[in-house]
A and B are shown apart, each in its own frame.
Chain A
Amino acid sequence: MPNLTRRSFGLLVGAGATSLALPYYARAQGKPKVVVIGGGAGGATAARYMAKDAGEDLDVTLIEANPAYSTCFFSNLYLGGFRDFDSITHGYDTLSSNYGITVVNGMADAVDRDAKMVVMADGSKVPYDRLVVSPGIDLIYDSVPGYSEEAAEIMPHSWKAGPQTQLLKAKLDAIENGQQIVMVAPPNQYRCPPGPYERVSMMAHILKSKGLNDSKIVIIDPKPKFSKQALFQEGWDKHYPGMIEWYGPDVHGGIVKVDASTGEVETDLDTFQGDLVNVIPAQKAGMIASKAALTNDSGFCAIDPASMRSKEDDSIFIIGDACIAGDMPKSGFSANSQAKVAAMTIRGDLTGSRVFPAKYSNTCWSLIETNDGVKVGAQYAPTDEKIASTSKFISQTGEDAGLRQATYEESIGWYKGITTDMFGA
């Protein structure tokens, strides 16, 4: 779609000519409408940037199912006892009061793309000129045979922060010496590549700090390798010797099924028994994306790498975990970065503001043990095919303790920074 000025956009939607004859308040109601579905790292950032930068020129609505948002990032630090749950939970009041965003607390059920309306679960309709879809992930429970939404009450996934995270924390804190934890790690593509392994580190931290030295954590992984593997395995050997066992598919031979009633994880090699079993199944874009027919066979949404615009619909942008972002991992940092490109492009579409070349970045910090933080990150730029990495870095094995502590402290600064960038101040 070519860049539109505000006026030409008005003419396109057939409102421009008449709106000029209307009194001010009526014209104000006719200003371009942007609706954002999902108030996480992608959606909250996109809404805030559009409202902040376009001022009175755009009408921004944010639809979010939950009254407050608990960040998946840093939820492992809650499991490890480094943060309390309140500190990773954020409300939407500032976005509403300081930025003039209309926050709708409800579930988006469908998108009528022809009429440009979001249909809410209660039947109400929210019209848009541009729509940002940022629903995060949905879990494919049956990707692990025997697993289900009901089984998740016993074998929590805790891959969406909230009650599931608190359930896992309660079960972790109840582990007694000699009891075993089993994690079924997810296959690619999934939210937060280092997340499962940081989680295991935090579980081990709890076991170690409580002196539960006869307990073990077993990871059954469908992947032959994982993010920051050398860093995690070095850290596990150093801090938690003999406590963590990781089995790739060449060892366990495949996951046959899980059984919530017995706590068993059956593989081709053996059956593992867990007093706590954390099953992280395969993932796909949040349901609204597939209901709106924005997903492809991968379960995620194809986008234009230069703008985050849907390949299926010029009026829709998909950001965060739900989109296919090329070399970018599914992370809160990535979603926040993509949101800024989408917000800039939408403002260009609707208000004629300047549009600059898209650039993206990501950094993922992980905590292995107290004051032992590591990170991985990259810069990205759009090519014709995908969002491609242009430069990258990763923490090194054998780094000194001072650098690791600085990395951890930096991650705390980042958390404060990104949550302020998402929810405003």
Chain B
Amino acid sequence: MDQKQDKAERPYADFPTLRNAAWARARKWIAGATFLLTVPAMASDGDPIKGEKLFKACKACHQVGANARNGVGPHLDGLFERPAGTLEGFKYSSAMKKLGSDGMVWNEFSLDLYLEKPREYVPGTRMSYRGMPDRQDRTHIIAYLRELSKAEPASEPEPETVTPEMGAVAMQIDGDMAYGEYLSSECVTCHQVSGRADGIPSIIGWPKKPFIRALFEYKTNVRSHQVMQNMTVNLGNEEIAALAAYFGSIDPQ
């Protein structure tokens, strides 16, 4: 196997920024896959129908398919072969942007490793997902993404419409940034202002609507989390709008 071919089949041969353990694991795994299959095609094992069901866990943050838009997470249209952290209009962590500028692209390999243990594969990622330990599940979801991500994303960002749902009043308020900054001091004891998700979700750089909706869902016990229910129970519309404005304005580090 000459060096050029070697590199083509091992897309991370020149990829230095993975943490050592993840990198060692990746190399071992890729070496195995290469040996067995020569042309790695693990997504062919996946069932996109099963993948669609599994993707429900991702849908609160990620859209995929025709007219997908960025939400709490980036939309996933055109995902395959896209360099990491490069979708315009989304606030990525500096860790993710660094990977992209170092040449990492999204494909079966990188998605498989990232989805297994996101925080281990990309230390500093904003994605709060704990990971999908089952390898077969990952092949299903990657097969699903492979199909759906061929669609065209929406051309315009989502208009911030006011709908008769929870949080509609807060949506109409122009949040007081200074008040939001003070109130945020209560949140950043756990949620790091850098945007790092080390076991507690990143809450910076979110669009206004999902941020407000999330706080109302905690406040009304639609979402179950004791700390967040308790933190939001005394927040009014002014407070929620102020927090959305302040956290929404922060760029990840």
- Distance in Å from the Cβ of B164 to the closest Cβ of chain A? 28
A416-B198, A416-B199, A420-B194 as given contacts; A395 in contact with B226, CB under 8 Å: yes
- Flag whether B169 is at the interface (Cβ < 8 A): no
The answer to whether B189 touches A337, judged by C-beta atoms less than 8 angstroms apart, is yes
The answer to whether B192 touches A420, judged by C-beta atoms less than 8 angstroms apart, is yes
- Flag whether B227 is at the interface (Cβ < 8 A): yes
- Distance in Å from the Cβ of A407 to the closest Cβ of chain B? 9
The answer to whether A377 touches B198, judged by C-beta atoms less than 8 angstroms apart, is no
The answer to whether A412 touches B198, judged by C-beta atoms less than 8 angstroms apart, is yes
Contact of B189 among A359, A394, A421 (CB under 8 A): A421
The answer to whether A49 touches B185, judged by C-beta atoms less than 8 angstroms apart, is yes
In whole angstroms, what is the CA distance A344 to B183 when docked? 11
The segment from B6-14, B60-68, B209-217, B230-238 found at the interface with A is: B230-238
- Flag whether B191 is at the interface (Cβ < 8 A): yes
The answer to whether B199 touches A409, judged by C-beta atoms less than 8 angstroms apart, is yes
- Distance in Å from the Cβ of A47 to the closest Cβ of chain B? 14
Chain A neighbourhood of B194, CB < 8 A: 420, 425
Q: Which residue among B185, B196, B200 has the maximum number of chain A CB atoms within 10 Å of its CB? A: B185
In whole angstroms, what is the CA distance A265 to B191 when docked? 44
- Flag whether A82 is at the interface (Cβ < 8 A): no
Chain A neighbourhood of B234, CB < 8 A: 359, 379, 381, 390-391
When C-beta atoms are compared, the residue in chain B nearest to A391 turns out to be: B233
Q: When each residue 77-118 of chain A gets 1 if its CB lies under 8 Å from chain B and 0 otherwise, what string results?
A: 000000000000000000000000000000000000000000
The answer to whether A379 touches B190, judged by C-beta atoms less than 8 angstroms apart, is no
- Flag whether B186 is at the interface (Cβ < 8 A): yes
- Flag whether B94 is at the interface (Cβ < 8 A): no
Chain B neighbourhood of A395, CB < 8 A: 226
A344-B182, A356-B179, A375-B226 as given contacts; A417 in contact with B189, CB under 8 Å: yes
Q: When each residue 347-362 of chain A gets 1 if its CB lies under 8 Å from chain B and 0 otherwise, what string results?
A: 0000000101001010
The answer to whether A377 touches B192, judged by C-beta atoms less than 8 angstroms apart, is no
Q: When each residue 396-423 of chain A gets 1 if its CB lies under 8 Å from chain B and 0 otherwise, what string results?
A: 0000000000000110111011101100
The answer to whether A414 touches B233, judged by C-beta atoms less than 8 angstroms apart, is no
Chain A neighbourhood of B189, CB < 8 A: 333, 336-337, 361, 414, 417-418, 421
In whole angstroms, what is the CA distance A53 to B198 when docked? 25
The answer to whether A361 touches B186, judged by C-beta atoms less than 8 angstroms apart, is yes
In whole angstroms, what is the CA distance A319 to B20 when docked? 42
- Flag whether B31 is at the interface (Cβ < 8 A): no
Q: When each residue 172-206 of chain B gets 1 if its CB lies under 8 Å from chain A and 0 otherwise, what string results?
A: 00000011011101101111101011111000000
Chain A neighbourhood of B182, CB < 8 A: 340, 344, 354, 356
- Distance in Å from the Cβ of A18 to the closest Cβ of chain B? 32
Residue tally, chain B, CB below 8 Å to A:
27
Chain B neighbourhood of A418, CB < 8 A: 189-190
- Distance in Å from the Cβ of B132 to the closest Cβ of chain A? 15
A340-B185, A344-B182, A417-B189 as given contacts; A412 in contact with B199, CB under 8 Å: yes
The dominant DSSP class at the B interface is loop
When C-beta atoms are compared, the residue in chain A nearest to B253 turns out to be: A425
The answer to whether B227 touches A375, judged by C-beta atoms less than 8 angstroms apart, is yes
- Flag whether B34 is at the interface (Cβ < 8 A): no
Residue tally, chain A, CB below 8 Å to B:
34
A379-B234, A390-B234, A391-B234 as given contacts; A417 in contact with B226, CB under 8 Å: no
When C-beta atoms are compared, the residue in chain A nearest to B194 turns out to be: A425
A354-B178, A356-B182, A410-B200 as given contacts; A417 in contact with B188, CB under 8 Å: yes
Contact of A413 among B200, B231, B253 (CB under 8 A): B200
The answer to whether B226 touches A377, judged by C-beta atoms less than 8 angstroms apart, is yes
Contact of B229 among A336, A393, A409 (CB under 8 A): A393
Chain A neighbourhood of B226, CB < 8 A: 375, 377, 393-395
The answer to whether B185 touches A377, judged by C-beta atoms less than 8 angstroms apart, is no
In whole angstroms, what is the CA distance A416 to B194 when docked? 12
When C-beta atoms are compared, the residue in chain B nearest to A418 turns out to be: B189
In whole angstroms, what is the CA distance A420 to B194 when docked? 10
The answer to whether A413 touches B230, judged by C-beta atoms less than 8 angstroms apart, is no
Chain B neighbourhood of A49, CB < 8 A: 185
The answer to whether A413 touches B198, judged by C-beta atoms less than 8 angstroms apart, is yes
A337-B186, A344-B182, A356-B182 as given contacts; A416 in contact with B230, CB under 8 Å: no
Chain A neighbourhood of B199, CB < 8 A: 409-410, 412-414, 416
Chain B neighbourhood of A344, CB < 8 A: 182
In whole angstroms, what is the CA distance A379 to B253 when docked? 30
Chain A neighbourhood of B230, CB < 8 A: 361, 377-379, 391-393
A377-B227, A377-B230, A379-B233 as given contacts; A413 in contact with B185, CB under 8 Å: no
Given A340-B186, A391-B234, 11 more A-B residue pairs with CB atoms under 8 Å apart are: A49-B185, A337-B189, A340-B182, A361-B186, A379-B233, A393-B229, A409-B199, A416-B199, A417-B190, A420-B192, A421-B188
14 A/B residue pairs, CB under 8 Å, sorted by A: A340-B182, A354-B178, A361-B189, A378-B230, A391-B230, A391-B234, A395-B226, A413-B200, A414-B199, A416-B200, A417-B192, A417-B198, A420-B194, A421-B189
4 nearest A-B pairs in the assembled complex, by CB-CB distance: A413-B199, A413-B200, A340-B185, A393-B226
